[in-house]
A and B are shown apart, each in its own frame.
Chain A
Amino acid sequence: MKTFYWLVKREFWEHRGGFLWAPVITGGVFLLLNLMAIVAAEVVGASHGIRFGASSELHQIISHMDAGDMSQVGTALDIAMYSSMALLTVVLGFVVFFYCLGAIYDERRDRSILFWKSLPLSDSSSVLSKVASATVVAPIITTLVGVAAGILQLVMLAVVLSFHGVNVWQLLLLSHPLRVTANLIGYIPLYLLWALPSVGWLLLCSAWARTKPFLWAVALPVATGLLVTWFGIMGLFNLSAGWFWQNIVARGLFSAFPGAGVAWNADRLTVSTDGHSPNLDFLNLGQTYQMLGSINLWIGVLVGAGLIVTAIWFRRWRDEA
Protein backbone atom coordinates (compact mmCIF):
# COMPACT_ATOMS: atom_id res chain seq x y z
CA MET A 1 0.00 0.00 0.00
CA LYS A 2 2.82 2.35 0.87
CA THR A 3 4.53 1.44 -2.37
CA PHE A 4 1.36 2.17 -4.30
CA TYR A 5 1.04 5.56 -2.63
CA TRP A 6 4.59 6.43 -3.68
CA LEU A 7 3.98 5.17 -7.20
CA VAL A 8 1.00 7.52 -7.50
CA LYS A 9 3.04 10.30 -5.97
CA ARG A 10 5.73 9.68 -8.56
CA GLU A 11 3.13 10.03 -11.33
CA PHE A 12 2.04 13.30 -9.79
CA TRP A 13 5.63 14.59 -9.65
CA GLU A 14 6.14 13.76 -13.28
CA HIS A 15 2.81 15.12 -14.47
CA ARG A 16 2.35 18.04 -12.13
CA GLY A 17 1.87 20.24 -15.20
CA GLY A 18 -1.15 18.31 -16.45
CA PHE A 19 -2.64 17.27 -13.13
CA LEU A 20 -2.25 20.50 -11.18
CA TRP A 21 -1.21 23.47 -13.28
CA ALA A 22 -3.52 22.79 -16.22
CA PRO A 23 -6.68 23.03 -14.06
CA VAL A 24 -5.30 25.90 -11.97
CA ILE A 25 -4.47 27.92 -15.07
CA THR A 26 -7.79 27.05 -16.69
CA GLY A 27 -9.61 28.09 -13.53
CA GLY A 28 -7.62 31.33 -13.54
CA VAL A 29 -8.53 31.98 -17.15
CA PHE A 30 -12.18 31.30 -16.35
CA LEU A 31 -12.11 33.86 -13.54
CA LEU A 32 -10.28 36.34 -15.74
CA LEU A 33 -12.94 35.98 -18.44
CA ASN A 34 -15.61 36.61 -15.82
CA LEU A 35 -13.75 39.67 -14.60
CA MET A 36 -13.43 41.00 -18.14
CA ALA A 37 -17.13 40.44 -18.73
CA ILE A 38 -17.92 42.38 -15.55
CA VAL A 39 -15.57 45.20 -16.51
CA ALA A 40 -17.10 45.31 -20.00
CA ALA A 41 -20.58 45.41 -18.50
CA GLU A 42 -19.52 48.23 -16.15
CA VAL A 43 -18.03 50.24 -18.99
CA VAL A 44 -21.07 49.75 -21.23
CA GLY A 45 -23.39 50.43 -18.30
CA ALA A 46 -21.57 53.63 -17.33
CA SER A 47 -21.50 55.00 -20.85
CA HIS A 48 -25.23 54.45 -21.22
CA GLY A 49 -26.01 55.88 -17.85
CA ILE A 50 -27.49 52.69 -16.48
CA ARG A 51 -27.01 52.27 -12.77
CA PHE A 52 -28.31 49.09 -11.23
CA GLY A 53 -27.79 50.02 -7.64
CA ALA A 54 -29.45 53.39 -7.57
CA SER A 55 -32.66 52.10 -9.07
CA SER A 56 -32.76 49.75 -6.08
CA GLU A 57 -34.99 47.45 -8.08
CA LEU A 58 -32.77 44.52 -7.29
CA HIS A 59 -33.15 45.32 -3.62
CA GLN A 60 -36.87 45.18 -3.95
CA ILE A 61 -36.78 41.95 -5.86
CA ILE A 62 -34.63 40.38 -3.23
CA SER A 63 -36.75 41.54 -0.34
CA HIS A 64 -39.91 40.25 -1.99
CA MET A 65 -38.67 36.77 -2.71
CA ASP A 66 -40.47 33.89 -1.02
CA ALA A 67 -39.04 30.53 0.01
CA GLY A 68 -39.56 28.94 -3.42
CA ASP A 69 -37.77 31.77 -5.15
CA MET A 70 -34.97 31.50 -2.61
CA SER A 71 -34.44 27.84 -3.39
CA GLN A 72 -34.30 28.70 -7.07
CA VAL A 73 -31.67 31.31 -6.38
CA GLY A 74 -29.71 28.66 -4.53
CA THR A 75 -29.97 26.30 -7.49
CA ALA A 76 -28.94 29.05 -9.89
CA LEU A 77 -25.90 29.77 -7.77
CA ASP A 78 -25.03 26.09 -7.70
CA ILE A 79 -25.27 25.97 -11.47
CA ALA A 80 -22.97 28.97 -11.65
CA MET A 81 -20.51 26.95 -9.61
CA TYR A 82 -20.89 23.95 -11.90
CA SER A 83 -20.34 26.25 -14.88
CA SER A 84 -16.77 26.81 -13.79
CA MET A 85 -16.36 23.05 -14.14
CA ALA A 86 -17.39 22.98 -17.80
CA LEU A 87 -14.13 24.31 -19.17
CA LEU A 88 -12.13 22.37 -16.60
CA THR A 89 -13.67 19.02 -17.49
CA VAL A 90 -12.77 19.51 -21.14
CA VAL A 91 -9.21 20.24 -20.09
CA LEU A 92 -9.25 17.22 -17.76
CA GLY A 93 -10.42 15.04 -20.65
CA PHE A 94 -7.46 16.07 -22.76
CA VAL A 95 -5.03 15.73 -19.86
CA VAL A 96 -6.21 12.20 -19.06
CA PHE A 97 -6.24 11.19 -22.73
CA PHE A 98 -2.68 12.24 -23.41
CA TYR A 99 -1.44 11.16 -20.01
CA CYS A 100 -2.62 7.60 -20.62
CA LEU A 101 -1.26 7.60 -24.13
CA GLY A 102 2.21 8.59 -22.92
CA ALA A 103 2.29 6.94 -19.50
CA ILE A 104 4.13 3.79 -20.54
CA TYR A 105 5.38 4.82 -23.98
CA ASP A 106 7.43 7.73 -22.63
CA GLU A 107 9.26 5.66 -20.04
CA ARG A 108 10.09 3.10 -22.72
CA ARG A 109 11.28 5.79 -25.10
CA ASP A 110 13.62 7.54 -22.68
CA ARG A 111 14.59 4.12 -21.25
CA SER A 112 13.76 5.23 -17.71
CA ILE A 113 11.64 2.08 -17.56
CA LEU A 114 14.95 0.30 -16.93
CA PHE A 115 15.39 2.35 -13.79
CA TRP A 116 11.86 1.65 -12.53
CA LYS A 117 12.37 -2.01 -13.34
CA SER A 118 15.57 -2.07 -11.32
CA LEU A 119 13.45 -1.49 -8.22
CA PRO A 120 11.21 -4.08 -6.57
CA LEU A 121 8.05 -2.74 -8.22
CA SER A 122 5.68 -5.12 -9.94
CA ASP A 123 4.38 -4.26 -13.37
CA SER A 124 0.81 -4.56 -12.16
CA SER A 125 1.19 -2.02 -9.37
CA SER A 126 3.06 0.31 -11.73
CA VAL A 127 0.33 0.22 -14.36
CA LEU A 128 -2.47 0.36 -11.79
CA SER A 129 -0.85 3.42 -10.22
CA LYS A 130 -1.14 5.07 -13.62
CA VAL A 131 -4.81 4.08 -13.85
CA ALA A 132 -5.41 5.55 -10.40
CA SER A 133 -3.57 8.75 -11.28
CA ALA A 134 -5.68 9.23 -14.39
CA THR A 135 -9.07 8.32 -12.96
CA VAL A 136 -8.83 9.43 -9.34
CA VAL A 137 -6.01 11.87 -8.65
CA ALA A 138 -6.46 14.06 -11.72
CA PRO A 139 -10.27 14.34 -11.36
CA ILE A 140 -10.07 15.14 -7.63
CA ILE A 141 -7.60 17.95 -8.21
CA THR A 142 -9.70 19.31 -11.07
CA THR A 143 -12.85 19.17 -8.96
CA LEU A 144 -11.27 21.01 -6.04
CA VAL A 145 -9.88 23.66 -8.37
CA GLY A 146 -13.28 23.90 -10.09
CA VAL A 147 -15.19 24.38 -6.84
CA ALA A 148 -12.68 26.98 -5.68
CA ALA A 149 -13.03 28.82 -8.97
CA GLY A 150 -16.83 28.61 -8.69
CA ILE A 151 -16.84 30.09 -5.20
CA LEU A 152 -14.42 32.84 -6.22
CA GLN A 153 -16.68 33.64 -9.15
CA LEU A 154 -19.69 34.09 -6.86
CA VAL A 155 -17.69 36.19 -4.43
CA MET A 156 -16.47 38.32 -7.32
CA LEU A 157 -20.05 38.97 -8.45
CA ALA A 158 -21.16 39.74 -4.94
CA VAL A 159 -18.35 42.23 -4.44
CA VAL A 160 -19.19 43.99 -7.70
CA LEU A 161 -22.87 44.17 -6.76
CA SER A 162 -22.06 45.51 -3.32
CA PHE A 163 -20.16 48.38 -4.97
CA HIS A 164 -23.49 49.24 -6.53
CA GLY A 165 -25.14 49.24 -3.17
CA VAL A 166 -26.80 45.88 -3.62
CA ASN A 167 -26.17 43.51 -0.78
CA VAL A 168 -26.34 39.96 -2.03
CA TRP A 169 -24.11 38.39 0.59
CA GLN A 170 -26.98 36.73 2.36
CA LEU A 171 -28.02 35.26 -1.01
CA LEU A 172 -24.64 33.55 -1.32
CA LEU A 173 -25.56 31.57 1.74
CA LEU A 174 -28.33 30.02 -0.32
CA SER A 175 -25.82 28.24 -2.52
CA HIS A 176 -24.56 24.82 -1.53
CA PRO A 177 -20.82 24.67 -2.15
CA LEU A 178 -20.47 21.57 -0.01
CA ARG A 179 -23.24 19.77 -1.84
CA VAL A 180 -21.79 20.78 -5.19
CA THR A 181 -18.38 19.52 -4.11
CA ALA A 182 -19.87 16.30 -2.78
CA ASN A 183 -21.80 15.76 -6.01
CA LEU A 184 -18.70 16.30 -8.11
CA ILE A 185 -16.40 14.21 -5.94
CA GLY A 186 -19.09 11.57 -5.67
CA TYR A 187 -19.23 11.40 -9.44
CA ILE A 188 -15.55 10.40 -9.65
CA PRO A 189 -16.11 6.66 -8.99
CA LEU A 190 -18.62 6.68 -11.84
CA TYR A 191 -16.13 8.51 -13.99
CA LEU A 192 -13.53 5.86 -13.16
CA LEU A 193 -15.85 3.03 -14.18
CA TRP A 194 -17.02 4.77 -17.32
CA ALA A 195 -13.52 5.82 -18.39
CA LEU A 196 -11.99 2.38 -17.86
CA PRO A 197 -12.24 1.12 -21.48
CA SER A 198 -10.63 4.31 -22.80
CA VAL A 199 -7.95 4.34 -20.15
CA GLY A 200 -7.25 0.66 -20.79
CA TRP A 201 -7.10 1.09 -24.55
CA LEU A 202 -4.79 4.10 -24.37
CA LEU A 203 -2.50 2.43 -21.83
CA LEU A 204 -2.38 -0.68 -23.98
CA CYS A 205 -1.31 1.36 -27.01
CA SER A 206 1.18 3.11 -24.77
CA ALA A 207 2.67 -0.21 -23.64
CA TRP A 208 2.60 -1.84 -27.04
CA ALA A 209 3.36 0.70 -29.81
CA ARG A 210 6.96 0.84 -30.95
CA THR A 211 6.40 4.33 -32.33
CA LYS A 212 3.57 6.86 -32.56
CA PRO A 213 1.11 5.54 -29.95
CA PHE A 214 -1.33 8.35 -30.78
CA LEU A 215 -1.60 7.21 -34.37
CA TRP A 216 -2.19 3.60 -33.35
CA ALA A 217 -4.68 4.50 -30.65
CA VAL A 218 -6.78 6.62 -32.99
CA ALA A 219 -6.12 5.15 -36.42
CA LEU A 220 -6.77 1.53 -35.47
CA PRO A 221 -10.36 1.99 -34.26
CA VAL A 222 -11.15 4.55 -36.96
CA ALA A 223 -9.78 2.34 -39.76
CA THR A 224 -11.72 -0.61 -38.36
CA GLY A 225 -14.81 1.59 -38.26
CA LEU A 226 -14.34 2.55 -41.91
CA LEU A 227 -13.92 -1.09 -42.96
CA VAL A 228 -16.98 -2.07 -40.96
CA THR A 229 -18.95 0.71 -42.61
CA TRP A 230 -17.82 -0.10 -46.16
CA PHE A 231 -18.37 -3.81 -45.96
CA GLY A 232 -21.47 -3.64 -43.81
CA ILE A 233 -20.01 -6.21 -41.43
CA MET A 234 -22.29 -5.19 -38.59
CA GLY A 235 -25.20 -6.36 -40.74
CA LEU A 236 -24.15 -9.87 -39.76
CA PHE A 237 -25.15 -9.08 -36.20
CA ASN A 238 -28.22 -7.16 -37.21
CA LEU A 239 -26.56 -3.94 -36.10
CA SER A 240 -25.83 -0.78 -38.02
CA ALA A 241 -22.39 0.61 -38.71
CA GLY A 242 -23.45 3.53 -36.55
CA TRP A 243 -23.67 1.14 -33.61
CA PHE A 244 -20.03 0.22 -34.15
CA TRP A 245 -18.94 3.84 -34.35
CA GLN A 246 -20.82 4.74 -31.22
CA ASN A 247 -20.16 1.72 -29.03
CA ILE A 248 -16.67 0.73 -30.09
CA VAL A 249 -14.85 3.68 -31.65
CA ALA A 250 -16.30 6.59 -29.68
CA ARG A 251 -16.69 4.60 -26.47
CA GLY A 252 -13.08 3.47 -26.68
CA LEU A 253 -11.60 6.84 -27.44
CA PHE A 254 -13.72 9.42 -25.66
CA SER A 255 -14.91 7.74 -22.48
CA ALA A 256 -12.13 9.44 -20.56
CA PHE A 257 -13.81 12.80 -21.09
CA PRO A 258 -15.80 13.52 -17.94
CA GLY A 259 -19.50 13.77 -18.53
CA ALA A 260 -19.31 11.39 -21.48
CA GLY A 261 -21.07 8.86 -19.30
CA VAL A 262 -23.85 11.30 -18.44
CA ALA A 263 -24.32 12.28 -22.08
CA TRP A 264 -24.44 8.62 -23.07
CA ASN A 265 -27.01 7.70 -20.53
CA ALA A 266 -29.06 10.88 -20.90
CA ASP A 267 -32.19 8.86 -21.60
CA ARG A 268 -31.82 6.98 -18.30
CA LEU A 269 -31.20 10.08 -16.26
CA THR A 270 -34.69 11.39 -15.80
CA VAL A 271 -34.65 14.93 -14.55
CA SER A 272 -37.08 14.86 -11.69
CA THR A 273 -39.55 17.71 -11.31
CA ASP A 274 -40.77 18.53 -7.87
CA GLY A 275 -44.17 19.99 -8.58
CA HIS A 276 -43.75 23.50 -9.91
CA SER A 277 -40.08 24.01 -10.77
CA PRO A 278 -37.83 21.56 -12.58
CA ASN A 279 -34.92 20.47 -10.42
CA LEU A 280 -31.89 21.71 -12.27
CA ASP A 281 -29.58 19.85 -9.92
CA PHE A 282 -28.97 17.22 -12.60
CA LEU A 283 -25.63 16.15 -11.16
CA ASN A 284 -27.34 15.03 -7.99
CA LEU A 285 -25.75 11.72 -7.10
CA GLY A 286 -29.16 10.10 -6.88
CA GLN A 287 -29.49 10.89 -10.56
CA THR A 288 -26.01 10.06 -11.77
CA TYR A 289 -25.80 6.76 -9.94
CA GLN A 290 -28.68 5.48 -12.03
CA MET A 291 -25.87 4.85 -14.52
CA LEU A 292 -24.88 1.83 -12.46
CA GLY A 293 -27.90 0.13 -13.96
CA SER A 294 -26.48 0.47 -17.43
CA ILE A 295 -25.16 -2.70 -19.02
CA ASN A 296 -23.01 -0.57 -21.30
CA LEU A 297 -21.13 0.68 -18.23
CA TRP A 298 -20.35 -2.80 -16.92
CA ILE A 299 -19.36 -4.22 -20.30
CA GLY A 300 -16.99 -1.27 -20.56
CA VAL A 301 -15.56 -2.05 -17.13
CA LEU A 302 -14.91 -5.66 -18.14
CA VAL A 303 -13.32 -4.69 -21.45
CA GLY A 304 -11.28 -1.99 -19.72
CA ALA A 305 -10.01 -4.45 -17.11
CA GLY A 306 -9.01 -6.84 -19.90
CA LEU A 307 -7.16 -4.08 -21.75
CA ILE A 308 -5.33 -3.05 -18.57
CA VAL A 309 -4.25 -6.64 -17.90
CA THR A 310 -2.92 -6.81 -21.46
CA ALA A 311 -1.09 -3.52 -20.96
CA ILE A 312 0.51 -4.95 -17.79
CA TRP A 313 1.59 -8.01 -19.76
CA PHE A 314 3.18 -5.86 -22.46
CA ARG A 315 4.96 -3.73 -19.91
CA ARG A 316 6.37 -6.88 -18.37
CA TRP A 317 7.50 -8.58 -21.56
CA ARG A 318 7.89 -5.96 -24.28
CA ASP A 319 11.53 -6.38 -25.17
CA GLU A 320 13.26 -3.44 -26.71
CA ALA A 321 16.30 -5.13 -28.17
Chain B
Amino acid sequence: MSAIITARNLSKRYKNAVALDSVNFQIESGRIVGLIGPNGAGKTTALKAILGLTSFEGELNVLGFDPRTQRDKLMEQVCFIADVAVLPRWIRVREAVDFVANVHPRFDRAKCEAFLARTKLTPNQRVRQMSKGMIVQLHLALVMAIDARLLVLDEPTLGLDILYRKQFYQSLLEDYFDENKTIIVTTHQVEEIEHILTDLMFIRDGKVVLDTDMEAVGDRFAEVMVNPDNAAAARALQPLDERQIFGKSIFLFDGADRATLQTLGEIRRPSVSDLFVATMKGTYA
Protein backbone atom coordinates (compact mmCIF):
# COMPACT_ATOMS: atom_id res chain seq x y z
CA MET B 1 0.00 0.00 0.00
CA SER B 2 1.26 3.42 -0.87
CA ALA B 3 0.35 6.75 0.64
CA ILE B 4 -1.98 8.83 -1.50
CA ILE B 5 -1.93 11.82 0.80
CA THR B 6 0.76 12.83 3.24
CA ALA B 7 0.34 15.91 5.40
CA ARG B 8 3.06 17.24 7.65
CA ASN B 9 2.48 20.20 9.95
CA LEU B 10 -0.41 21.30 7.83
CA SER B 11 -1.69 24.65 9.16
CA LYS B 12 -4.20 27.16 7.99
CA ARG B 13 -5.02 30.40 9.75
CA TYR B 14 -7.91 32.64 8.88
CA LYS B 15 -7.96 36.22 10.10
CA ASN B 16 -9.40 35.45 13.51
CA ALA B 17 -9.34 31.68 13.79
CA VAL B 18 -7.06 28.70 13.40
CA ALA B 19 -8.69 26.22 11.05
CA LEU B 20 -5.88 23.67 10.96
CA ASP B 21 -3.23 23.47 13.64
CA SER B 22 -0.09 21.55 12.57
CA VAL B 23 -1.98 18.51 11.40
CA ASN B 24 -0.16 15.30 10.47
CA PHE B 25 -1.80 12.39 8.72
CA GLN B 26 -1.36 9.88 5.97
CA ILE B 27 -3.98 8.25 3.80
CA GLU B 28 -3.26 5.00 2.00
CA SER B 29 -4.49 3.88 -1.36
CA GLY B 30 -7.67 1.79 -1.54
CA ARG B 31 -9.27 3.18 1.62
CA ILE B 32 -12.54 4.89 2.40
CA VAL B 33 -11.78 7.49 5.01
CA GLY B 34 -14.42 9.23 7.04
CA LEU B 35 -13.29 12.70 8.10
CA ILE B 36 -15.60 13.54 10.92
CA GLY B 37 -15.80 16.53 13.18
CA PRO B 38 -18.17 19.13 14.57
CA ASN B 39 -19.08 22.24 12.61
CA GLY B 40 -16.11 24.54 12.20
CA ALA B 41 -13.56 21.90 13.19
CA GLY B 42 -11.53 22.32 10.01
CA LYS B 43 -12.82 19.43 7.89
CA THR B 44 -13.69 21.55 4.89
CA THR B 45 -10.44 23.49 5.20
CA ALA B 46 -8.48 20.23 5.16
CA LEU B 47 -10.34 19.08 2.05
CA LYS B 48 -9.83 22.45 0.37
CA ALA B 49 -6.11 22.22 1.06
CA ILE B 50 -6.00 18.72 -0.46
CA LEU B 51 -7.86 19.98 -3.54
CA GLY B 52 -5.63 23.02 -3.93
CA LEU B 53 -8.51 25.40 -3.36
CA THR B 54 -6.85 27.27 -0.54
CA SER B 55 -3.40 28.30 0.58
CA PHE B 56 -1.82 26.73 3.66
CA GLU B 57 1.42 26.32 5.57
CA GLY B 58 3.31 23.10 5.99
CA GLU B 59 3.78 20.18 3.67
CA LEU B 60 1.08 18.40 1.76
CA ASN B 61 1.60 15.80 -0.91
CA VAL B 62 -1.37 14.49 -2.87
CA LEU B 63 -0.61 11.76 -5.42
CA GLY B 64 2.91 13.13 -5.64
CA PHE B 65 1.78 16.66 -6.40
CA ASP B 66 1.77 19.85 -4.39
CA PRO B 67 -1.83 21.04 -4.62
CA ARG B 68 -0.75 24.69 -4.46
CA THR B 69 1.48 24.67 -7.50
CA GLN B 70 0.48 21.61 -9.50
CA ARG B 71 -3.27 21.80 -9.23
CA ASP B 72 -3.93 21.51 -12.98
CA LYS B 73 -2.14 18.15 -13.16
CA LEU B 74 -3.56 16.97 -9.88
CA MET B 75 -7.14 17.47 -10.98
CA GLU B 76 -6.79 14.89 -13.75
CA GLN B 77 -6.64 12.22 -11.06
CA VAL B 78 -8.74 13.78 -8.35
CA CYS B 79 -12.43 14.41 -8.37
CA PHE B 80 -14.71 15.99 -5.84
CA ILE B 81 -18.30 16.68 -5.03
CA ALA B 82 -18.11 19.77 -2.88
CA ASP B 83 -21.69 19.95 -1.87
CA VAL B 84 -25.04 19.30 -3.41
CA ALA B 85 -26.13 21.90 -5.93
CA VAL B 86 -22.84 23.20 -7.25
CA LEU B 87 -23.74 22.17 -10.77
CA PRO B 88 -24.49 25.31 -12.79
CA ARG B 89 -28.23 25.81 -12.91
CA TRP B 90 -28.40 26.58 -16.62
CA ILE B 91 -26.67 23.41 -17.83
CA ARG B 92 -28.56 20.56 -19.49
CA VAL B 93 -27.78 16.90 -18.84
CA ARG B 94 -26.61 16.49 -22.43
CA GLU B 95 -24.37 19.56 -22.24
CA ALA B 96 -22.82 18.50 -18.94
CA VAL B 97 -21.95 15.06 -20.32
CA ASP B 98 -20.60 16.52 -23.58
CA PHE B 99 -18.51 19.05 -21.76
CA VAL B 100 -16.92 16.69 -19.26
CA ALA B 101 -16.39 14.06 -21.97
CA ASN B 102 -14.39 16.57 -24.00
CA VAL B 103 -12.31 18.19 -21.29
CA HIS B 104 -11.55 15.22 -19.05
CA PRO B 105 -9.03 12.69 -20.37
CA ARG B 106 -10.18 9.96 -17.96
CA PHE B 107 -13.90 10.23 -18.55
CA ASP B 108 -15.81 7.19 -19.81
CA ARG B 109 -18.87 8.38 -21.64
CA ALA B 110 -20.54 4.99 -21.96
CA LYS B 111 -20.26 4.44 -18.24
CA CYS B 112 -21.81 7.83 -17.52
CA GLU B 113 -24.70 7.17 -19.87
CA ALA B 114 -25.29 3.79 -18.29
CA PHE B 115 -25.62 5.48 -14.89
CA LEU B 116 -27.95 8.10 -16.29
CA ALA B 117 -30.12 5.44 -17.89
CA ARG B 118 -30.91 4.20 -14.41
CA THR B 119 -32.30 7.59 -13.38
CA LYS B 120 -35.24 9.63 -14.52
CA LEU B 121 -32.98 12.31 -15.97
CA THR B 122 -33.56 13.22 -19.61
CA PRO B 123 -30.88 14.69 -21.92
CA ASN B 124 -32.59 18.03 -22.35
CA GLN B 125 -33.38 18.58 -18.71
CA ARG B 126 -31.74 21.58 -17.09
CA VAL B 127 -30.27 21.47 -13.60
CA ARG B 128 -32.65 24.21 -12.50
CA GLN B 129 -35.59 21.92 -13.24
CA MET B 130 -34.24 19.12 -11.07
CA SER B 131 -34.76 18.28 -7.43
CA LYS B 132 -31.76 18.19 -5.13
CA GLY B 133 -31.68 14.41 -5.33
CA MET B 134 -31.67 14.43 -9.12
CA ILE B 135 -28.83 16.98 -9.20
CA VAL B 136 -26.77 14.66 -7.05
CA GLN B 137 -27.60 11.74 -9.34
CA LEU B 138 -26.30 13.72 -12.30
CA HIS B 139 -23.21 14.82 -10.44
CA LEU B 140 -22.54 11.29 -9.27
CA ALA B 141 -22.99 9.92 -12.81
CA LEU B 142 -20.39 12.41 -14.06
CA VAL B 143 -17.97 11.71 -11.25
CA MET B 144 -18.27 7.93 -11.29
CA ALA B 145 -17.48 7.87 -15.00
CA ILE B 146 -14.16 9.55 -14.25
CA ASP B 147 -11.40 7.12 -13.48
CA ALA B 148 -9.93 9.18 -10.66
CA ARG B 149 -7.52 7.85 -8.05
CA LEU B 150 -8.91 10.05 -5.32
CA LEU B 151 -12.51 11.09 -4.78
CA VAL B 152 -13.30 13.75 -2.20
CA LEU B 153 -16.84 14.09 -0.96
CA ASP B 154 -17.74 17.02 1.27
CA GLU B 155 -21.21 16.56 2.71
CA PRO B 156 -22.37 14.92 -0.52
CA THR B 157 -25.80 13.97 0.74
CA LEU B 158 -26.73 17.08 2.70
CA GLY B 159 -30.44 17.78 2.36
CA LEU B 160 -31.27 14.58 0.49
CA ASP B 161 -34.00 12.19 1.54
CA ILE B 162 -33.04 8.77 2.80
CA LEU B 163 -33.73 6.99 -0.50
CA TYR B 164 -31.27 9.17 -2.38
CA ARG B 165 -28.75 8.95 0.46
CA LYS B 166 -28.81 5.15 0.52
CA GLN B 167 -28.64 4.96 -3.25
CA PHE B 168 -25.73 7.38 -3.32
CA TYR B 169 -23.47 5.35 -1.06
CA GLN B 170 -24.61 2.07 -2.55
CA SER B 171 -23.67 3.20 -6.06
CA LEU B 172 -20.32 4.40 -4.82
CA LEU B 173 -19.53 1.06 -3.23
CA GLU B 174 -20.90 -1.22 -5.91
CA ASP B 175 -20.02 0.57 -9.10
CA TYR B 176 -17.13 2.82 -8.30
CA PHE B 177 -14.89 1.83 -5.47
CA ASP B 178 -11.99 -0.59 -5.97
CA GLU B 179 -8.55 -1.12 -4.50
CA ASN B 180 -6.98 1.50 -6.78
CA LYS B 181 -9.29 4.22 -5.65
CA THR B 182 -9.45 6.19 -2.46
CA ILE B 183 -12.43 8.04 -1.11
CA ILE B 184 -12.45 10.73 1.56
CA VAL B 185 -15.86 11.66 2.85
CA THR B 186 -17.14 14.13 5.41
CA THR B 187 -20.66 14.01 6.69
CA HIS B 188 -22.71 14.57 9.79
CA GLN B 189 -24.82 11.51 9.09
CA VAL B 190 -22.21 9.23 10.60
CA GLU B 191 -24.53 6.23 11.12
CA GLU B 192 -25.14 5.97 7.40
CA ILE B 193 -21.54 5.66 6.33
CA GLU B 194 -20.24 3.77 9.32
CA HIS B 195 -20.39 0.38 7.60
CA ILE B 196 -18.64 1.50 4.44
CA LEU B 197 -15.67 3.21 6.06
CA THR B 198 -12.30 1.51 6.32
CA ASP B 199 -10.69 4.36 8.22
CA LEU B 200 -11.84 6.95 10.66
CA MET B 201 -10.42 10.36 11.35
CA PHE B 202 -11.85 12.68 13.97
CA ILE B 203 -10.96 16.31 13.77
CA ARG B 204 -11.60 18.90 16.43
CA ASP B 205 -10.49 22.52 16.69
CA GLY B 206 -8.06 22.08 13.84
CA LYS B 207 -6.42 18.99 15.31
CA VAL B 208 -6.71 15.34 14.42
CA VAL B 209 -7.88 13.72 17.66
CA LEU B 210 -8.40 10.21 16.34
CA ASP B 211 -6.87 8.52 13.32
CA THR B 212 -7.45 4.79 13.09
CA ASP B 213 -8.81 2.05 10.87
CA MET B 214 -12.17 0.53 11.62
CA GLU B 215 -10.81 -2.82 12.78
CA ALA B 216 -8.67 -1.11 15.35
CA VAL B 217 -11.71 0.77 16.59
CA GLY B 218 -13.23 -2.54 17.71
CA ASP B 219 -9.99 -3.57 19.39
CA ARG B 220 -9.29 -0.31 21.09
CA PHE B 221 -12.70 0.92 22.16
CA ALA B 222 -15.29 -1.02 24.04
CA GLU B 223 -18.74 -0.23 25.28
CA VAL B 224 -19.87 -2.03 28.39
CA MET B 225 -23.37 -2.17 29.84
CA VAL B 226 -22.92 -2.24 33.60
CA ASN B 227 -25.39 -2.93 36.41
CA PRO B 228 -25.65 -0.22 39.07
CA ASP B 229 -23.78 -2.32 41.64
CA ASN B 230 -20.70 -2.46 39.38
CA ALA B 231 -20.85 1.17 38.32
CA ALA B 232 -18.30 2.42 40.84
CA ALA B 233 -15.80 -0.22 39.75
CA ALA B 234 -16.32 0.77 36.12
CA ARG B 235 -15.83 4.44 36.87
CA ALA B 236 -12.53 3.60 38.53
CA LEU B 237 -11.26 2.41 35.12
CA GLN B 238 -11.57 5.98 33.78
CA PRO B 239 -14.13 5.59 31.01
CA LEU B 240 -14.34 8.11 28.20
CA ASP B 241 -18.03 8.48 28.63
CA GLU B 242 -20.94 7.32 30.71
CA ARG B 243 -24.63 7.37 29.96
CA GLN B 244 -27.71 5.85 31.56
CA ILE B 245 -30.26 3.62 29.92
CA PHE B 246 -33.02 1.56 31.58
CA GLY B 247 -31.40 1.93 34.97
CA LYS B 248 -28.09 0.59 33.69
CA SER B 249 -24.97 2.55 32.85
CA ILE B 250 -23.19 2.32 29.54
CA PHE B 251 -19.49 3.06 29.74
CA LEU B 252 -17.17 3.71 26.86
CA PHE B 253 -13.57 2.68 27.38
CA ASP B 254 -10.47 3.47 25.41
CA GLY B 255 -7.81 0.78 25.57
CA ALA B 256 -9.04 -0.82 28.78
CA ASP B 257 -8.21 -4.44 29.56
CA ARG B 258 -10.79 -6.79 28.00
CA ALA B 259 -10.73 -9.36 30.75
CA THR B 260 -11.43 -6.75 33.39
CA LEU B 261 -14.29 -5.32 31.35
CA GLN B 262 -15.82 -8.74 30.88
CA THR B 263 -16.33 -9.06 34.62
CA LEU B 264 -18.30 -5.80 34.65
CA GLY B 265 -20.86 -6.62 31.99
CA GLU B 266 -21.59 -7.26 28.36
CA ILE B 267 -19.01 -5.81 25.91
CA ARG B 268 -20.09 -4.29 22.62
CA ARG B 269 -18.32 -2.52 19.82
CA PRO B 270 -19.25 1.16 20.13
CA SER B 271 -20.94 2.86 17.21
CA VAL B 272 -19.03 5.63 15.48
CA SER B 273 -21.60 8.16 16.52
CA ASP B 274 -21.29 7.23 20.21
CA LEU B 275 -17.54 7.36 19.88
CA PHE B 276 -17.82 10.71 18.19
CA VAL B 277 -20.08 12.17 20.85
CA ALA B 278 -17.77 10.94 23.60
CA THR B 279 -14.67 12.28 21.88
CA MET B 280 -16.17 15.65 21.12
CA LYS B 281 -17.60 16.22 24.58
CA GLY B 282 -17.50 19.86 25.52
CA THR B 283 -16.80 21.13 22.00
CA TYR B 284 -19.50 23.78 22.06
CA ALA B 285 -19.26 24.50 25.80
Contacts and interface: CB of A to CB of B under 8 A. Distances in A.
A321 B14 contact: yes
Interface stretch (B21-29, B73-81, B191-199, B264-272): B73-81
B103 interface: yes
B277 interface: no
Among A9, A114, A122, max chain B CB count under 10 A is at A114
Nearest to A107: B88
Nearest to A117: B53
A13 B51 CA distance: 27
A108 to B, nearest CB: 11
Contacts of B81: 118
A6 B99 contact: yes
Interface residues of A, number: 24
A118 B83 contact: no
A71 interface: no
A64 to B, nearest CB: 59
B90 A13 contact: yes
Contacts of B87: 112, 115
Contacts of A316: 71
Contacts of B82: 111, 114-115, 118
A317 to B, nearest CB: 7
Interface string B204-226: 00000000000000000000000
A14 B88 contact: yes
A102 to B, nearest CB: 12
Given A114-B82, A317-B55, A119 B89 contact: no
A9 B91 CA distance: 12
Contacts of A112: 86-89
Contact of A6 (B51, B80, B102, B139): B102
Nearest to A4: B103
B135 to A, nearest CB: 11
Contacts of A33: none
Interface in A114-140: 114-115, 117-122
Nearest to A113: B86
A115 B86 contact: yes
Contacts of B71: 316
Contacts of A319: 48, 53-55
11 contacts: A14-B91, A111-B85, A112-B86, A112-B88, A118-B79, A118-B80, A120-B73, A120-B104, A121-B72, A316-B71, A319-B48
Given A111-B83, A118-B51, A319-B54, 5 more contacts: A9-B99, A10-B99, A115-B139, A117-B53, A121-B75
Interface of A: 2-3, 6-7, 9-10, 13-14, 107, 110-112, 114-115, 117-122, 316-317, 319, 321
Interface of B: 14, 48, 51, 53-55, 71-73, 75-76, 79-83, 85-91, 95, 98-100, 102-105, 139, 143
